[in-house]
Amino acid sequence: MQCGRFTFTFERPLVMGILNVTPDSFSDGGLYADPGKARMQAEKILADGADIIDIGGESTRPGAPPVPLDEELQRVIPLVKELSAAGIPVSVDTYKPEVMRHALAAGADLINDIWGFRMPGAIDAVRDSQCGLCVMHMLGEPQTMQVGEPVYDDVIADVRAFLEERVNTMIRTGVAKNRISVDPGFGFGKTVEHNYALLARLPETSPVVGTPLPILAGMSRKSMLGAVVNRPAPERVAASIAAAVCAAERGAAIIRVHDVAQTVDALKVWAATRDAARRA
């Protein structure tokens, strides 16, 4: 997969470390809205072994108020410049075309869009670069997606059909398919049952365009884990690691997490087991 300055081959799943620069992120209390603290957290994510750092400037928490564009740019762009200049693979979590353009100019390698590049102008904002793209499935909008029970005809088929439509539209618009990854969007307009069905059948969620596209899985500290272990978000580290290993076993290419050090260790053990199975 082409990701800006980098080419990823996914011999093992890559770990994407989450850096929230929002005032209200649900699992870290927005500790990193302060630029100095954000930088320190970035250092830690990298020292812990992350392969990619994902910077988000607007909380996508269900019911969260939208953040004004200027504020999102002020929080995100200086960090993108600094990390990119240091040679670090930088992802930006945004659905706003204007943020995408600024992020790419600042050196971002990947644009991670929970809206699946559905905002008018989003595809045009990324088309003429070499950045990687993550196309995520979300039912409805962040404000409303968990109001009432989300309903699917067949959650696996519906998510894959959505991703296939988005990917085909992007390819038709001139985006090379080796730049595209897909994501079933755990927790975005899904019941607990839907989320586990998607995890169990993860490979089937990826549209096949010649070859299947790399899958990004983001379950870290989410309520689908809380529903099983009955713990609040900060105490879902072990549950998150189990979910990451399940995703790795099902072929995930990139795993998006808060707890980088623990996930990296767990995936090393998973990879050692996989390698031994290949030798057997």
Q: Which stretch binds ligand 7PM (CB under 6 A): 80-88, 202-210, 218-226, 244-252?
A: 218-226
Q: Is 102 in the site for ligand 7PM (CB under 6 A)?
A: no
Measure the CA–CA gap between 133 and 111, rounded to whole angstroms: 5
Alpha helices in 93-236 (DSSP H): 97-105, 122-127, 155-173, 192-200, 223-229
Residue of 160, 179, 221, 256 marked active site: 256
Q: Does 185 bind ligand 7PM (CB under 6 A)?
A: yes
Select the residue interacting with ligand 7PM from 67, 79, 106, 114 (CB under 6 A): 114
Give the nearer residue to ligand 7PM in terms of CB position, either 83 or 215.
215
Q: Does 26 bind ligand 7PM (CB under 6 A)?
A: yes
Q: What sign does the CA torsion over 63, 111, 91, 214 have?
A: positive
Does 207 engage in binding with ligand 7PM (CB under 6 A)?
no
DSSP state of 137: -
Tell whether residue 136 is a contact of ligand 7PM (CB under 6 A): yes
* Residue 57 or 185 having the CB closest to ligand 7PM: 185
At residue 92, the 3 state secondary structure works out as strand
Three-state secondary-structure class, residue 149: coil
Torsion of CA 29, 238, 148, 146, to 10 degrees: 40
As a whole number of angstroms, the distance between CA 239 and CA 231 comes to 10
216 part of the interface to ligand 7PM, by CB under 6 A: yes
Smallest gap from Cβ 272 to ligand 7PM, in A, equals 27
Q: In this chain, which stretch among 38-46, 80-88, 143-151, 179-187 interacts with ligand 7PM, using CB under 6 A?
A: 179-187
Q: Hey, which residues are catalytic here? A: 222, 256
